[in-house]
């Protein structure tokens, strides 16, 4: 998951016992078409490391699939259960990533900056030839996928960050990030009642505003899918499974907010969204890793997931999911 530092000593047990603050990404190099940071876009050179549990990493999974970057950018999936060294590759044979040859993502951080003692977060992009971390800038990675990796996009890939709409997309995403994406964490990891209540109110105030925005339009900005929809989706899809109970964001479930529940189902059923979601990884991580707020480590059996495939009728609001393009295969 993105900062704060999941690899701090006793970091998991400390959640809920210290003020929550999300740190900035320490490694913010960019992979660009012109290679101005020393990392040019190149098919097969880089490996994207994610956890399917992490909403910040899930953005990159959705974007990678929608844009058809699977063949150009290989994928490593970390175990949703961390130990003291953070993200590990225990899902792979021999407990090592088969491409990078490492057991822990922290090894790529160490290769980039020897002696590095900060947090180890996903998403992360690693340079395969050198084994060095390139970036863990979760805010910028997907924007660069949309704008810098265009030469490697699949035919029919959507424009997820159209230039004419960027100011509006940025404004919408800023409020969603502050109050929803990060707001649920501020509530869940709050160490005091006032801190929790402020975050709780921010979450639902913003969800109400977003719900009103989506009442008469299918997508957040314009009539096609954009980066803004990806960023909201990755929080909404986790809402009832973890944020409602585990993070105490319990004014209402997503399934009790009609517009947002229909919108979330619409996205879930769109190729590139629901097919990147793993609810088991999500629940295993939050309930078993955050021992500071769930010391028993018990993972709930619910919620019932069958509703995600029910009709949503959002197509009645118009919109063209992929614009002039087409869905991924």
What are the residue numbers of the active site? 54, 185
Residue 320 contacts residue 229 (beta carbons within 8 Å): no
Strand partners, 126: 47, 133
Contacts of 93 (CB under 8 A, 6+ apart): none
Question: What CA–CA distance (Å, rounded) separates 311 from 114?
Answer: 52
The most distant pair of C-alpha atoms in the chain lies apart, rounded to whole Å, by 55
Nearest residue to 240 (alpha-carbon basis) of 228, 224, 257, 223: 257
Question: What CA–CA distance (Å, rounded) separates 234 from 120?
Answer: 20
Torsion of CA 258, 217, 143, 172, to 10 degrees: -80
């Amino acid at each position: 998951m993105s900062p704060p530092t999941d690899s701090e000593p006793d970091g998991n047990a400390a959640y809920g016992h210290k003020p929550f603050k999300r740190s900035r990404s320490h490694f913010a190099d960019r992979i660009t078409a012109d290679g101005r940071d020393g990392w040019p876009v190149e098919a097969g050179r880089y490996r994207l490391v994610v956890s399917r549990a992490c909403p910040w990493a899930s953005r990159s999974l959705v974007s990678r699939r929608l844009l058809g970057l699977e063949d150009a950018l290989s994928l490593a999936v970390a175990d949703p259960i961390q130990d003291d060294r953070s993200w590990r590759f225990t899902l792979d044979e021999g407990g090592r990533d088969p491409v990078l040859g490492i057991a822990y993502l922290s090894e790529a951080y160490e290769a980039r900056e020897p002696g590095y003692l900060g947090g180890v977060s996903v998403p992360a992009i690693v340079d395969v030839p050198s084994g060095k971390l390139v970036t863990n800038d979760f805010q910028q990675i997907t924007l660069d996928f949309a704008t810098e990796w265009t030469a490697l996009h699949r035919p029919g890939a959507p424009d997820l960050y159209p230039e004419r709409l960027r100011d509006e997309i940025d404004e919408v995403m800023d409020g969603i990030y502050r109050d929803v994406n990060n707001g649920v964490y501020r509530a869940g990891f709050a160490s005091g009642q006032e801190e929790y209540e402020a975050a709780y109110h921010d979450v639902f105030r913003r969800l109400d505003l977003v719900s009103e925005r989506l009442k008469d339009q299918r997508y957040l900005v314009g009539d096609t899918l954009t980066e803004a929809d990806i960023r909201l989706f990755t929080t909404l899809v986790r809402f009832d499974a973890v944020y409602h109970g585990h993070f105490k964001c319990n004014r209402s479930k997503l399934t009790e907010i009609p517009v947002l529940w229909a919108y979330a189902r619409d996205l879930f059923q769109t190729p590139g969204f629901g097919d990147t979601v793993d609810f088991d990884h999500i629940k295993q991580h939050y309930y078993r890793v955050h021992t500071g707020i769930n010391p028993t480590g018990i993972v709930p059996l619910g919620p019932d997931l069958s509703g995600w495939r029910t009709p949503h009728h959002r197509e009645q609001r118009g919109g063209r999911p992929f614009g002039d393009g087409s869905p991924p295969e």
